Structure 1
Amino acid sequence: MSDDDLDLAFAGAEDPGRWRHRKKEGRRGRTFLALTLVLLLFGALGGVGYIGYGKVKGFFSVEDYAGPGAGEAVIEVKSGNTATDIANTLYKAGVVKSAAAFVDAAKDNPKSKDIQVGSYLLKKEMKAADALTMLLDLKNKNVNKITIPEGLISLQIFDKLSKATGIPVADFKTAAKSPQKLGVPALWFKRKDGKKVVASDIEGFLYPATYEFPKDAKAEDVLKIIIKNFNAEMEQLDFVNQAAKLNISPYEALVAGSIAQVEALLPEDMGPVARVLYNRAYTGKFPCGCLQLDSTVNYWLRISGKDAKASEHLLASELHDPKNPYNYDVKGMAVGPISNPGEVALKGAIEAPKSDYYFFVTVDKKGTMAYGKTNDDHEKNKLIACKNGIPIC
């Protein structure tokens, strides 16, 4: 209701003057109350405005530091960040004097769109253009970079990780005892052949690739990053479903891939070698139903703290050691992976071409592999290898 409406409402009263007088007093009181509230409100808003201005003034004033900066500031560039987002991060961290200065620098430099996601080590109180230059230089990433090649065992990988990050090997060994906590799905710890999977064995899951780890990462954080990549690669390969088509578990296919990675020197032999393993372990047509591989025996020696040996130097007692779960005489697929295989070996394990081969041997120094259906075929191939200087005879 407006003041005019109130005036009309009071027009028929016996003493209009008296009502009008009261109306003026009420209006004066209400006006004073309203003025007080407005002043209080503006006072509150003024406080908010002052605080807000303090927070955003870096966006409205194009102020810039003149010097190269000093000290350290860790800056995180996240996926989807715009130049303004990065400017905000830099301003809050004390790297640039104003966010606007960095935005202007980004507009002036067409390479600014090439800033990569990640953590960077910059300086405080930098000239905005210099801060941009540092973000474009990958040398300033606040990470430890390491490449894990195909075929290494976990102990070798822990050693490389330790040298790159400064984290003790013992920390990696401890963190690795719980692969599922690191992100390995439970489905990987089951087999179709009746053998049990050692749930504390991380072998095979440390996917070979080039990684960047934050410098403040702990052993568990590092391994989680590697496992996350492993899971992504397995999904990309559709590894679980492809293994099912072979009527084996993903873990058994992983074991086969880890052996093929070690045994085959050439990419084209990864699949055929994996097929030989399947033929020996699952068809029931190979006399012992075992793998009889020097590589599995050597794996046991290495994880037991001993040195691996060339095939011609392995002793019969080592090949048939009953304490070695990877020995010549163990039936079926090996109890676990013997290396950490890469993409080619893993694809070979799930795309192994069908064959009647039960034997393979490297026959020249180029890594060429020869296959045989019978032991006689194998002996002939071994003679070829000997003639080519391969120490197998």
Structure 2
Amino acid sequence: MHEDESPVLPPQDEAPRSVGGARKKRRGPAGCLAVLLALAVLAGGFYVAVTKGVDFVSDQFGSVEDYPGPGTGTVTFQVEQGDTVAAMGRGLKKEKVVASVQAFIDAASADPNSSTIQAGTYELAKEMRAVDALDILMDPANQVRNTVTIPEGLRVVDIVDILVEKTKFNRGRYEKALADTAALGLPDYAEGNPEGYLFPATYELGPKDKPADILAAMVARWRQAADEAGLESRAAALGRTPAELMVIASLVEAEGRGDDMAKVARVIYNRLDGPGDKGGTNGLLQIDAANAYGIGKSGTTALSADELAVDTPYNTRLYPGLPPTPIEAPGDDAIKAAANPADGPWYYYVTVDLATGETKFAEDYSEFLEFKAEYQAYCETSDAC
């Protein structure tokens, strides 16, 4: 039979014959009853499915379950990077924000702006209309942002103080996370010490972030800054290790400001590499911020003569060369300055105006004494000293 031909049907007044030639009996009342019973069972099953709100109802019969809204209570909902509309719908249904995944998919399909939903944390309610939940997620202004800012120049202990204050975790949780140095993502040359590698920046904390996640994000941000500065390649070009460059960057952070950072870096290199004559310091850096770190104090602390004399590996007045580790967390500018020091013959620097940060650089000791006298005269008329 060709596709366009209709099958030949028996005459309407005859029932089809069986193989033996006997005529089949017409359907009687019992057969009709069986059909009606089957339909009744199907109808009953359909009713039960509708009343129980089973998802398959929406799939099979086109009736999508949706809450009437407006919703009650609060639900914190996280949209992860790369989430599809369906994934969001499943998460929303799990949190009882929407009644069905399909309702959210339908709402998103009807709104072209649904493709602009950004990853982040949002505050919703339980039992919302799907379209209302979608409206909230489409507006970035509705994101719940929990941020913490870590300034430049802080030690690990200071950074943990801020994190304990700004998050719900105690110091013990952070110290435990810091001990798992492999999970932090530290480079091998850090030798398991996070000092200097918790990058100063503003971080957005997710509701599920734990101390290990927060600290690992800080190390990852350091990695970004190191790559941008070409830390490893510049270290090789300067005849230093990447670890040494990070120590220098931390010293620059403690001592320099703005455009002067690259000059401060040059002074450090000159003191490390230069001869003792020509105003050199025989490899002594004489950076008091390092001495302060060695006795457990911040680099901004003014030290007494007795404190400056305390014998620690960080006493740059006693021991030539670099201290063993970074003394604080350097930012982008300090890392770039350490990797790209300015050209110059300087061995000394003096900040002659603490309010403006004006710093003068000297090639020899006699010039340094002139700038020091200028600083002392400034302090006689300023409360900043």
Match of 1:170 among 169, 172, 179: 172
How far off is 1:385 after superposition? 2.3
| Cα RMSD (Å) | 3.2
Q: Distance in 2 between matches of 1:296 and 1:273?
A: 15
The answer (yes or no) to whether the contact 1:204–1:337 under 8 Å persists in 2 is yes
Q: Distance in 2 between matches of 1:330 and 1:111?
A: 63
TM-score of the superposition, structure 1-length normalised?
A: 0.73
The answer for the alignment partner of 2:264 in structure 1 is 273
The answer for the alignment partner of 2:343 in structure 1 is 354
Deviations 1:338-383 (A, max 9, x none): 1111111111110111221111111212111110111111111122
The answer for the alignment partner of 1:36 in structure 2 is none
Q: Distance in 2 between matches of 1:243 and 1:350?
A: 7
1:367 partner amino acid:
G
Q: Distance in 1 between matches of 2:186 and 2:225?
A: 12
| 1:331-350 correspondence runs (5 A) | 331-350=320-339
Q: Distance in 2 between matches of 1:55 and 1:176?
A: 49
The answer (yes or no) to whether the contact 1:261–1:345 under 8 Å persists in 2 is yes
Larger CA deviation: 228-237 vs 329-338: 228-237
Q: Distance in 2 between matches of 1:83 and 1:56?
A: 21
The answer for the alignment partner of 2:218 in structure 1 is 226
1:374 partner amino acid:
D
The answer for the alignment partner of 1:116 in structure 2 is 118
How far off is 1:296 after superposition? 1.2
In structure 1, the residue corresponding to 2:254 is in which secondary structure? Answer: helix
The answer for the alignment partner of 1:161 in structure 2 is 163
The answer (yes or no) to whether the contact 2:290–2:314 under 8 Å persists in 1 is no
Q: Distance in 1 between matches of 2:99 and 2:316?
A: 66
The answer for the alignment partner of 2:306 in structure 1 is 317
In structure 2, the residue corresponding to 1:388 is in which secondary structure? Answer: helix
Measured at CA, do residues 150 and 109 of structure 1 come closer, stay the same or move farther in structure 2, by a change above 3 Å? farther
Deviations 1:41-84 (A, max 9, x none): xxxxxxxxx9xx83794796444322232355453323233444
The answer for the alignment partner of 1:45 in structure 2 is none
The answer (yes or no) to whether the contact 2:267–2:347 under 8 Å persists in 1 is yes
2:176 partner amino acid:
T
How far off is 1:89 after superposition? 3.0
Q: Distance in 2 between matches of 1:167 and 1:257?
A: 30
The answer for the alignment partner of 1:297 in structure 2 is 291
Measured at CA, do residues 122 and 202 of structure 1 come closer, stay the same or move farther in structure 2, by a change above 3 Å? same
The answer for the alignment partner of 1:66 in structure 2 is 68
Answering whether residue 227 of structure 2 is matched by residue 235 of structure 1, we say yes
In structure 2, the residue corresponding to 1:288 is in which secondary structure? Answer: coil
Q: Distance in 2 between matches of 1:85 and 1:359?
A: 61
The answer for the alignment partner of 2:55 in structure 1 is 54
Measured at CA, do residues 61 and 274 of structure 1 come closer, stay the same or move farther in structure 2, by a change above 3 Å? farther
1:230 partner amino acid:
W
In structure 1, the residue corresponding to 2:372 is in which secondary structure? Answer: helix
Q: How many residues align?
A: 328
| 1:1-393 correspondence runs (5 A) | 54=55, 57=58, 61-71=63-73, 73-106=75-108, 112-135=114-137, 136-137=139-140, 140-141=143-144, 144-186=146-188, 188-189=189-190, 199-265=191-257, 267-285=258-276, 286-303=280-297, 309-310=301-302, 314-323=303-312, 325-364=314-353, 365-389=355-379
Larger CA deviation: 382-391 vs 324-333: 382-391
In structure 2, the residue corresponding to 1:291 is in which secondary structure? Answer: coil
Q: Distance in 2 between matches of 1:299 and 1:79?
A: 40
Deviations 1:10-60 (A, max 9, x none): xxxxxxxxxx99xxxxxxxxxxxxxxxxxxxxxxxxxxxx9xx83794796
The answer (yes or no) to whether the contact 1:204–1:341 under 8 Å persists in 2 is yes
Larger CA deviation: 244-253 vs 327-336: 327-336
How far off is 1:104 after superposition? 4.8
The answer for the alignment partner of 1:8 in structure 2 is none
Deviations 1:191-248 (A, max 9, x none): xxxxxxxx34211000011112233433222211211222233223322112211111
Gaps of 5+ in 2: 1-18, 21-48
2:231 partner amino acid:
F
In structure 1, the residue corresponding to 2:295 is in which secondary structure? Answer: helix
In structure 2, the residue corresponding to 1:176 is in which secondary structure? Answer: helix
The answer (yes or no) to whether the contact 2:295–2:312 under 8 Å persists in 1 is no
Q: Distance in 2 between matches of 1:228 and 1:253?
A: 18
1:293 partner amino acid:
I
1:161 partner amino acid:
L
The answer (yes or no) to whether the contact 2:350–2:372 under 8 Å persists in 1 is yes
In structure 2, the residue corresponding to 1:211 is in which secondary structure? Answer: strand
Larger CA deviation: 75-84 vs 159-168: 75-84
Measured at CA, do residues 385 and 107 of structure 1 come closer, stay the same or move farther in structure 2, by a change above 3 Å? farther
Larger CA deviation: 125-134 vs 271-280: 125-134
2:97 partner amino acid:
V
Q: Distance in 2 between matches of 1:207 and 1:309?
A: 22
Q: Say which structure is richer in helix.
A: 1
TM-score of the superposition, structure 2-length normalised?
A: 0.75
In structure 2, the residue corresponding to 1:363 is in which secondary structure? Answer: strand
Deviations 1:271-293 (A, max 9, x none): 11111111112334433311101
- Percent of matched pairs sharing the same residue: 33
Larger CA deviation: 111-120 vs 327-336: 111-120
1:386 partner amino acid:
Q
